[in-house]
Amino acid sequence: MAGEIEAVKAWPQATRDYIDELKLEMRRVTWPTRKQVEATTTVVIVCVFAFAAYFKIVDKVIEETVTRAITALSR
């Protein structure tokens, strides 16, 4: 019981320490420039559309293959 009370009493200081360490770490972060963010965002968007097109093509090929197989087997 006494250990639990001590843990509760220590919580506010532990929280302050955590926030102070977090602030210190955030100051050390090297943030990307706007140009870097725009470039990587463009790459992500292009890749998403490229993968969507690829999977659309693969899906169409599989759909056609399955349709032809079902048609051939049901005759």
Higher pLDDT, 4 or 43: 43
Q: Find the domain containing 48 and state its range.
A: 31-75
Q: Are residues 54 and 40 in the same domain?
A: yes
| pLDDT tens digits along 42-55 | 999 999 999 999 99
- Is the whole model's pTM more than 0.85, yes or no? no
Give the CA distances from residue 34 to residues 2, 17, 26, 39, in Å, rounded to whole numbers and listed in that order: 53, 32, 18, 9
Q: Are residues 62 and 72 in the same domain?
A: yes
Alpha-helical (H) ranges within 1-75 are 2-28, 34-73
The tally of domains found in the chain comes to 2
**Span 46-74, mean pLDDT?**
97
Give the CA distances from residue 55 to residues 10, 11, 46, 64, in Å, rounded to whole numbers and listed in that order: 54, 51, 14, 14
Which structure tokens are listed for 15? Answer: 């929280």
Q: Are residues 20 and 37 in the same domain?
A: no
- When the pLDDT of each residue in the chain is averaged and rounded to a whole number, the result is 93
Percentage with pLDDT > 90 across the chain = 79
